[in-house]
Amino acid sequence: MGVENVAEDIRSMKIRGAGRIARQAAEALMNLVDGYEGDSLDDLKNELEKGREILLSSRPTAVSLWNGVQAVLKGYRKASNLDDLKDLVKENGERFMERSNRATEVIGEMGARRVNDGDRILTHCNSSVALSVIKTAFREGKDIEVFVTESRPWRQGLITVRELAEEGVPVTLIVDSAVRWIMKDIDLVLVGADTITSNGAVINKIGTSQIALVAHEARVPFVVCAETYKFSPMTLTGKPVEIEERGSEEVAGPGELPNTVKVLNPVFDATPPEYIDYIVTEIGLIPPSASYEVIVRMLGQEFLFEYEDW
Ligand code: RUB
């Protein structure tokens, strides 16, 4: 798929979830160089720059998109001929895809070590990385049961319950407001992340922070499952994470409300580090306070300063 189509599908939520968004954007840039039939190095560089901007403007919150795009374009400005530029983008892209897929697997394996036989797990929305942990634990023969929030307004919880039911995992759907009611029966909360800031706050689907608060109150471990490209280099430089607000029609249909009623539809929220027990990454289980280290070591300052929009 081309850049414009991928950006449109991300905007309209056909492509969703922070990891998928990043991988599809990476693929779109690889396709762009693959399909380029011109013979101008500068022209292809301009196309890549335009593609980058179009992709980055599709959704504002998940830093995985920014990190994925940067990983594919790393060093492209220095390419001195067309073939080198095409090879560089393809190699970078393949490396990123491999890293992303492998990270999901590794996090599944490491996270599953902390899942005990008999655990009742609560998850929110639809995170492929949190699901990797759950599925790995189940495939290892652990007797687990999963409770999934509906996740209004898009109801991504329905995708999660279907996916788990297909695996044979015992799964129950609950409405978002039932979280505190169910928490007394839960042993472990597992969620994904769209962005993790340099101070260890986790930005994920709206409602995540309420779940963290309730888990904290009930002394239930609250665990985030996220690849290192969900950590935000920009937060090191003081840039706040933009919380996406989507249209009112996602919350209430036409004619359902008097026209004096306003609707607010923020789709992500921030969970403070003090409510997070640990973050499972592909480089290990880390406390939220290690986020600064992850950003500096894994993403690097040079990488960051290659672009103006950090
Ligand atoms: C999805 C969501 C997911 C994270 C992590 O929100 O909040 O928990 O993106 O997903 P949306 P993953 O449906 O609005 O994109 O672990 O798959 O990267």
Q: Is 34 a catalytic residue?
A: no
Q: Which domains does the chain carry? A: 3-105 (1.20.120.420), 107-301 (3.40.50.10470)
pLDDT on residue 275? 98
Kindly state the tokens that stand for 13: 């939520």
Do residues 280 and 223 lie in contact, with contact meaning Cβ atoms separated by under 8 Å? yes
Expressed in angstroms and rounded, the spacing between residue 222 Cα and the centre of ligand 1 is 17
The pLDDT of residue 177 is above 80:
yes
What is the CA(269)–ligand 1 centre distance, in A?
Answer: 12
Which atom of ligand 1 approaches the CA of 230 most closely?
18
Q: In ligand 1, which atom is closest to the CA atom of 19?
A: 18
* Residue 304 confidence (pLDDT): 56
The torsion of the CA quartet 189, 270, 68, 4, rounded to 10 degrees, works out to 110
Determine contact, residues 9/24, Cβ cutoff 8 Å: yes
The catalytically annotated residue of 42, 84, 125, 277 is: 125
What is the Å distance from ligand 1's center to 195 Cα?
A: 10
Residues 6+ apart with CB under 8 A from 224: 191, 192, 193, 196, 202, 204, 271, 276, 278, 279, 280, 288
Structure tokens at 92: 């970078």
For residues 229 and 192, give the distance between their C-alpha atoms in angstroms, rounded to a whole number. Answer: 12
Q: How far is CA 193 from CA 209, 224, 270, 286, in A?
A: 12, 7, 10, 14
Q: pLDDT for 277-288, tens place per residue?
A: 999 999 999 999
pLDDT, averaged across the chain: 95
> For residue 298, what pLDDT band results from cuts at 50, 70 and 90?
confident
For residue 184, pLDDT beyond 60: yes
Whether 305 shows a pLDDT value over 90: the answer reads: no
Mutational pocket test of ligand 1: of 128, 204, 209, the residue with most ligand atoms within 8 Å of the beta carbon? 204
The whole-angstrom separation of Cα 275 and Cα 223 is: 9
Q: What global pTM score does this model have?
A: 0.96
Strand order in the sheet with 268-271: 195-196, 202-205, 268-271
What would the pLDDT profile of 212-259 be if each residue is shown by its tens digit?
999 999 999 999 999 999 999 989 889 999 999 999 999 999 999 999
> Tell me, what's the pLDDT at 237?
85
* Cα dihedral value 244, 249, 252, 253, nearest 10: -170
- Give the pLDDT confidence score for residue 175 in this predicted structure: 98
With a Cβ cut-off of 6 Å, ligand 1 is lined by: 16-19, 62, 125, 127-129, 154, 156, 192-194, 204-205, 267
